[in-house]
Amino acid sequence: MSAGELLLTLTARGIPIPQGSKKAFVVAGRARMIDDNAEALKPWRKTVEKAAQGAMVANNFQGPVAGAVAVAVLFQIERPTSVKRALPHVRPDLDKYQRAVLDALTTAGVWKDDGQVTTISARKVYGSTPGARVSVYRDEE
């Protein structure tokens, strides 16, 4: 990862929820789209958003950051008691976990748009404390 200055670090505790596909339907002649798992996703994104806002206040972070950013995320999920493998190489997909976190950081005001993320490093592992550790850096060439 070609990261530069560390801008913000945060930890969101809770079971990570992937941001999956969208469902589309028509209400009163207008198209509406919702996340197919919105009931579980909304509280997780709120958890990440609050963790980001707390870290911003604690570190006197002057956001939203402008320009390119790099993000590193470590997702920890609980290992089911019947599972013996070392890594969770099963669903949900890592990119869907990332999508939920990046959108929550946009809502929190870390950046104006997650399109500013030019580099991302993410990993999912089994851990005793589920959640996500996130570091945001200024990206450099």
What domains lie within the chain, and their CATH numbers? 3-139 (3.30.1330.70)
Give yes or no for residue 2 having a pLDDT over 80. no
Give yes or no for residue 114 having a pLDDT over 70. yes
Please tell me the predicted confidence (pLDDT) of residue 21.
Answer: 65
Give yes or no for residue 1 having a pLDDT over 70. no
Tokens of 40: 């579980």
Give yes or no for residue 3 having a pLDDT over 80. no
Q: Cβ–Cβ contacts within 10 Å for residue 134, how many?
A: 25
Please tell me the predicted confidence (pLDDT) of residue 16.
Answer: 97
Query: How far is the C-alpha of 72 from the C-alpha of 129, rounded, in Å?
Result: 18
The answer to whether the beta carbons of residues 4 and 138 sit under 8 Å apart is yes
Among 31-35, 88-92, 94-98, 118-122, which is the least confidently predicted range? 31-35
SS3 of 137, please?
strand
Query: How far is the C-alpha of 117 from the C-alpha of 2, rounded, in Å?
Result: 12
Confidence of residue 36 (pLDDT cuts 50, 70, 90): low
Give yes or no for residue 77 having a pLDDT over 70. yes
SS3 of 96, please?
helix
